[in-house]
């Protein structure tokens, strides 16, 4: 299948065929009909994420994601999952900075149930203090397990504070602080739900083995009566192009030093975003990637290296993450990374071979995603939400195919200048010496 798609990409447009329409209450719907397998996907995105956490209530959007599984007046606590699993279907959800998504999948005959359950909790959630207390404890535990206890993961709590001012909604990691989670009240929850969870702040994708005409009528039936809300405007995000805190040293229970370097970069789908994706691949992915070759094999400073363009709608972040060998001076790691970046602007620009490998990798990854029904549904959501155009596959591919050595050099020289970097060192804890 992939080879056919690659051939097609050279001859005519690649697309994800679908039908789009909007209900009177503002719910945007996309139907993707695919009869190759007897399966269906129901995928809902809400236009609210951790960016919209209320002031003093960090982690709220993610906490609310958990509450969405706690039952309604018609589907009691514990029954959402139980009814779905009894039918052989499954579900999951995630909270990002810019959106929250809920998705479920099952065999074709589960579609009515999946649609009913999703519509029921869109405006009918039954929230109680007991449910809030339970999920608050779950989220606080998640923070400990995923951010506080594992080696080096505390970096994700430090970086937003270093990169963004307090006035910016990206200032805190979406998991939230313990203090804010403890302060979340039932009235906060109810207000957040009534503000953001409504059909006119959601997009529904239904994909798979379905009859579009029948499913359209069913969607009208189960979602059409839901009342729209007066959705608040998103808090304006101030423009940020340099870190608030340029340097920070963190001592933690880790076996060796790590250095994390981060820069503000263009938003998702803006010019330069794809160039930085390609740069990240060139620096850290695959055989011959520049940073592992220099830091791991040549200088023997590091045991793990990766680079990543974290694309977001209100400003992205480019990261270089290096876990050093025990005893290595983190200043040597930082200097080596800076030298490798500088070489891309001066004496060792990106080669045609490096660019071809990276771009081919992105194309193969995109074609691979298109093999999955859920991933195609998510692609439609992502393109519509961030590019304002669900039919965006060709344009997305074109972003990567246009990257050349000159674009790499320009973006390194302008966006990744050393004076624009936030540098976090994570060092082994200092042992106290008893006199």
Picking from 190, 223, 256, the residue at the C-terminal end of a domain is 223
Q: Is 399 a member of any domain?
A: yes
Q: Same domain for 182 and 268?
A: no
Q: Same domain for 189 and 98?
A: yes
User: Is the distance from CB of 91 to CB of 102 less than 8 angstroms?
Assistant: yes
Q: Same domain for 292 and 356?
A: yes
Picking from 173, 191, 223, the residue at the C-terminal end of a domain is 223
Q: Same domain for 265 and 154?
A: no
Specify the pLDDT at position 7. 36
Tokens 């929230």 -> residue = 127
Specify the pLDDT at position 154. 94
pTM, 2 dp = 0.92
Specify the pLDDT at position 11. 47
Q: Same domain for 126 and 200?
A: yes
Residue 262: give its domain's CATH number.
3.30.830.10
Q: Is 229 a member of any domain?
A: no
User: Is the distance from CB of 335 to CB of 328 less than 8 angstroms?
Assistant: no
Alpha-helix runs per DSSP H in 324-372: 330-345, 352-370
Q: Same domain for 203 and 349?
A: no
Q: Same domain for 207 and 68?
A: yes
Q: Which residues 6+ apart lie within 8 Å of 27 measured at CB?
A: 199, 200, 202, 203, 204, 223, 226
Identify the H or E element spanning 296: none
User: Is the distance from CB of 89 to CB of 115 less than 8 angstroms?
Assistant: no
Q: Same domain for 40 and 90?
A: yes
pLDDT in tens, the chain (435 residues): 333 333 334 445 788 999 999 999 999 999 999 999 999 999 999 999 999 998 888 999 999 999 999 999 999 999 999 999 999 999 999 999 999 999 999 999 999 999 999 999 999 999 999 999 999 999 999 999 999 999 999 999 999 999 999 889 899 889 999 999 999 899 989 999 999 999 999 999 999 999 999 999 999 999 999 999 999 999 888 889 999 999 999 999 999 999 999 999 999 999 999 999 999 999 999 878 999 999 999 999 999 999 999 999 999 999 999 999 999 999 999 999 999 999 999 999 999 999 999 999 999 999 999 999 999 999 999 999 999 999 999 999 999 999 999 999 999 999 999 999 999 999 998 754 445
Q: Total structural domains in the chain? A: 2
Q: Is 435 a member of any domain?
A: no
Q: Same domain for 336 and 210?
A: no
33-75 residue pLDDT tens: 999 999 999 999 999 999 999 888 899 999 999 999 999 999 9
Q: Is 191 a member of any domain?
A: yes
Specify the pLDDT at position 15. 87
Q: Same domain for 142 and 57?
A: yes
C-alpha to C-alpha distance for 243 and 163, rounded to whole angstroms: 4
Q: Cα 362 vs. chain centroid, distance in angstroms?
A: 17
Q: Which two tokens stand for residue 143?
A: 């923070």
C-alpha to C-alpha distance for 35 and 53, rounded to whole angstroms: 40
The whole domain housing 218 covers 17-223
Q: Same domain for 261 and 218?
A: no
Question: Up-side HSE of residue 30: CA atoms within 13 Å toward CB?
Answer: 25
Q: Same domain for 164 and 213?
A: yes
Specify the pLDDT at position 6. 39
C-alpha to C-alpha distance for 338 and 421, rounded to whole angstroms: 10
Q: Is 7 a member of any domain?
A: no
Q: Which two tokens stand for residue 88?
A: 């052989």
Picking from 189, 223, 257, the residue at the C-terminal end of a domain is 223
């Amino acid at each position: 299948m992939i080879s056919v798609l690659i051939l097609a990409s050279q001859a005519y447009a690649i697309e994800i065929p679908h039908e789009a329409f909007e209900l009177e209450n503002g719910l945007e719907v996309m139907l993707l009909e695919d009869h190759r397998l007897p399966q269906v996907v129901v995928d809902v995105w809400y236009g609210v994420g951790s960016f919209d956490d209320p002031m003093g209530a960090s982690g709220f959007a993610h906490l609310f994601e958990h509450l969405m599984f706690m039952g309604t007046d018609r589907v009691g606590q514990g029954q959402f999952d139980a009814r779905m699993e009894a039918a052989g279907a499954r579900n999951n959800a995630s909270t990002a900075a810019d959106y929250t998504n809920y998705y479920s999948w099952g065999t074709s005959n589960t579609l009515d149930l999946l649609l009913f359950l999703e519509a029921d909790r869109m405006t009918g959630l039954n929230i109680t203090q007991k449910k809030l207390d339970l999920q608050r404890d779950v989220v606080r535990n998640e923070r400990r397990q995923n951010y506080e206890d594992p080696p080096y993961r505390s970096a994700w709590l430090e970086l937003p504070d270093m990169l963004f001012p307090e006035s910016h909604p990206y200032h805190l990691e979406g998991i939230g602080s313990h203090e804010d989670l403890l302060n979340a009240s039932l009235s906060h929850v109810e207000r957040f739900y009534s503000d953001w969870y409504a059909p006119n702040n959601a997009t529904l994708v239904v994909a798979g083995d379905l009859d579009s005409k029948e499913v359209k009528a069913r969607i009208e039936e189960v979602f059409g009566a839901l009342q729209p809300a007066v959705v608040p405007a998103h808090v304006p995000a101030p423009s940020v192009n340099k870190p608030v805190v340029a340097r920070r040293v963190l001592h933690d229970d880790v076996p060796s030093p790590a250095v994390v370097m981060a820069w503000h970069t263009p938003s998702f789908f803006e010019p330069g975003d794809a160039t930085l994706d390609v740069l990240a691949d060139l620096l850290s992915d695959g055989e011959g990637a520049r940073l592992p070759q220099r830091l791991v094999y040549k200088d023997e400073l590091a045991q793990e290296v990766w680079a990543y363009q974290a694309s977001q709608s209100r400003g992205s972040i480019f990261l270089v993450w290096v876990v050093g060998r025990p005893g290595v001076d983190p200043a040597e790691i930082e200097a080596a990374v800076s030298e490798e970046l500088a070489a891309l602007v001066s004496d060792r620009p990106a080669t045609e071979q490096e660019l071809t490998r990276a771009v081919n990798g992105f194309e193969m990854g995109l074609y691979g995603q298109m093999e999955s029904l859920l991933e195609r549904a998510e692609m439609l959501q992502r393109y519509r939400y961030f590019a304002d155009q669900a039919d965006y596959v060709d344009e997305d591919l074109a972003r990567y195919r246009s990257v050349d050595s000159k674009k790499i050099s320009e973006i390194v020289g302008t966006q990744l200048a050393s004076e624009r970097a936030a540098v976090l060192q994570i060092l082994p804890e200092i042992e106290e010496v008893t006199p």
